[in-house]
Amino acid sequence: MRHSPLLRDGHQIQLIEGGQAYFEALVVALDQAHSQVHMETYIFNFHGAASMVAEALERAALRGVRVWVVVDGVGTPSLPAPWRQRFEKAGVVWRTYSPLGTLGLLIPSRWRRLHRKLCVVDGQLAFCGGINILDDWFDPQHGTLAHPRFDFAVRARGALVQPMLETMTQLWWRMQGVRHVRQQQFPEAISSFRAAGLHLPWTQDSAADLSTHDRAHTVSKAGLLLRDNVLYRSQIERAYLKAIGAARHDIIIANAYFLPGRRLRKALIHAAQRGVRVRLLLQGRYEYFMQYHAARPVYGELLAAGVEIHEYHASFLHAKVAVMDADNEHPWATVGSSNLDPLSLLLAREANVVVVDKGFAQKLHQRLTHAIDNQSTPVLTEVYTQRPWHQRGRDRIAFGLMRLALFLTGNRY
């Protein structure tokens, strides 16, 4: 198995905060596309500002760009009829990863979802992060939000683009192969599965002259972290463990659904015990029963070790980012789709970018520090230990259900 990303120099990495800024950057890239667009997302919702991305995909396809879009069957179970017609007319090719079928999530194998958010344009420009194609001010379950969702992505040029494009292309052809098998088109299926094993060449055009693009963006050493169920089962978790173990001054992790396994908890505890300031920025607003309540039983031992926990209350926190030692000799940061919970680290397809660059790390550190200081509430040990019995009961029930779910999938965490 491959555990460590290949970190290369010569990238241009731009940190993007929030869906509005992300959509605007995507639209600019899509409107400049010449040959191909590959996009993957967990949720593709057409409400509000998200429709601007759909319209840009449509425009690209209408002018002859090959546009491939893959969405997850849980996050995006269906395409609205008007948009299905528009995409078909324009030539946007839309595929759904692991549709639920009749029994839905009652089948444990269907808990393996496509959760990564990636886009590659013309093999030269890439996007990666935690932001779905979903309006920041709208939630499908909760309606209009008073404040925008808190999330991040990156826009990147350089050698980082090649592995993103390759992993997306491989998944596409595997899905095409399965599609052909179900239609009993076996020669076509064989061709698709062979195509899934291809390795795309890294051309001079793909590399591009970085001096001609985005001069103000950070030039960084960066790499791609993946999690899947074949080659990259633990790459993201191992990268976190290595970075936490190497931290000497400061750790900030912002994570929407936080339920770390024993190794990650121990790593955070050991870091705090050796004098590293460890701060966690976690979801403070109730969104889903399991994710909200299952995380709280692990707070106790973290607080006892000196880990600071802050709950974000301004809106829904959806970020999956971390930054360590931003002001020191060995900064480390990551932005991506992976939560630190068993669904992300054991079951889902995820993608994070890791960046080793002081300027980038300081920018992310500054934004997270502002959110901790101004938009969050600290979890105090005395309040946590005295929370009502009915709340503790819900926490234990959710924690137990999560452990049962993992047992049913055959995983230990």
Structure tokens at 239: 């990268």
Out of 72, 122, 151, 228, which one is annotated catalytic?
122
- pLDDT for position 218: 57
Q: What pLDDT does residue 100 have?
A: 87
Q: Is 142 a catalytic residue?
A: no
Distance, in Å, from the CA atom of 85 to the CA atom of 88, rounded to the nearest integer, reads 5
Q: How far apart are CA 186 and CA 398, in angstroms?
A: 44
pTM, two decimals, is 0.91
Q: Are strands 93-97 and 66-72 parallel, antiparallel or unpaired?
A: parallel
115 as an active site residue: the answer is: yes
Q: How confident is the model at residue 276 (pLDDT cuts 50, 70, 90)?
A: very high
Higher pLDDT, 175 or 119: 119
The residues, any chain, with a CB within 8 Å of residue 193's CB and separated by 6 or more, are: 173, 174, 177
Q: What was the pLDDT predicted at 300? A: 94
Q: What is the pLDDT averaged over residues 281-292? A: 86
Q: Is residue 113 within 8 Å of residue 75, measured between CB atoms? A: yes
How far apart are alpha carbons 169 and 205 in whole angstroms?
18
Give the distance, in angstroms, between the CA of residue 167 and the centroid of all CA atoms in the same chain: 15
Confidence check: pLDDT of 211 > 50: no
Told to judge if 327 belongs to the known catalytic residues of this protein, a careful annotator would answer no
Question: In which band, very low, low, confident or very high, does the pLDDT at 226 lie, cut at 50, 70 and 90?
Answer: very high
Neighbouring residues of 182: CB distance < 8 A, sequence distance ≥ 6? none
| Helix locations, 247-344, DSSP H | 262-273, 289-294, 299-304, 342
**What is the C-alpha to C-alpha distance for residues 252 and 372, in angstroms, rounded to an integer?**
10
What is the CATH number that goes with domain 223-409?
3.30.870.10
- 320 a catalytic residue: yes
Phi and psi of 27, rounded to 5°?
-60, -45
Q: Is 117 a catalytic residue?
A: yes
* Architecture of the 8-212 domain: 2-Layer Sandwich (3.30)
C-alpha triplet 353, 52, 255: angle, nearest 5°: 35
Which residue ranges make up each domain of the chain? 8-212, 223-409
pLDDT at 216 over 50: no
Q: What is the pLDDT of residues 63-84, one digit of tens each?
A: 999 999 999 999 999 999 999 9
Q: Which of 38, 117, 180, 365 is catalytic?
A: 117
Query: Please, which pLDDT band fits residue 191 given cuts at 50, 70 and 90?
Result: low
Of 151, 325, 341, 357, catalytic = 325
Residues comprising the chain, all counted: 413
* Domains 8-212 and 223-409 fall in the same CATH topology: yes
Q: Is 341 left (phi over 0), alpha (psi -120 to 50) or beta?
A: beta
Q: Which segment of 35-39, 151-155, 307-311, 384-388 scores lowest on mean pLDDT?
A: 384-388
Catalytic residue among 11, 115, 293, 365: 115
Tens digits of residue pLDDT in 5-64 = 678 888 999 999 999 999 999 999 999 999 999 999 999 999 999 999 999 999 999 999
d(CA 404, CA 413): 11
User: Does the active-site annotation cover 47?
Assistant: no
- Which value, to the nearest 10 degrees, does the dihedral of the CA atoms of residues 67, 72, 73, 77 take? -70
Contact 315, 145 (CB under 8 A): yes
Task: Tell me which of 217, 293, 318, 358 is the catalytic residue.
Answer: 318
